[in-house]
């Protein structure tokens, strides 16, 4: 017989892992924002020298990927019983 509290332990471990991962991401952001004012990035084009350009570019790329994925899903999605026929 399988103990019933395994899911609770797994859920707690995943929640703890997510909390630690979030803390690491916030720490990286706290380090990078002041560096944006101190360090000078040498971009290939003038657009790359804009303040917080990598963050803005990354966010726009993320949004594009999410919406492109949604469009691709509608384009190539098959019925659930596609392979059963």
pLDDT of 17-69, one tens digit each? Answer: 999 999 999 999 899 888 888 888 888 888 888 888 888 999 999 999 999 99
pLDDT of 32-43, one tens digit each? Answer: 888 888 888 888
Question: What residue spans define the domains of the chain?
Answer: 1-39, 44-85
User: Which of the four pLDDT bands, split at 50, 70 and 90, describes residue 80?
Assistant: confident
* C-alpha span between 52 and 63 (Å, rounded): 17
Contact criterion met (CB below 8 Å) for 47 and 53: yes
Mean pLDDT, the chain, integer: 87
Q: What is the pLDDT of residue 54?
A: 86
User: Which of the four pLDDT bands, split at 50, 70 and 90, describes residue 85?
Assistant: low
């Amino acid at each position: 017989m399988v103990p019933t509290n395994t899911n609770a332990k797994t859920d707690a471990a995943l929640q703890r892992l997510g909390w630690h991962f979030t803390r690491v991401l916030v720490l990286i952001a706290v380090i990078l924002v002041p560096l944006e004012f101190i360090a000078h990035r040498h971009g290939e084009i003038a657009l790359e020298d804009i303040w917080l350009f990598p963050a803005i570019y990354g966010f726009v790329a993320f949004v594009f990927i999410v919406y492109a994925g949604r469009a691709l899903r509608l384009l190539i999605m098959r019925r659930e019983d596609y392979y059963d026929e």
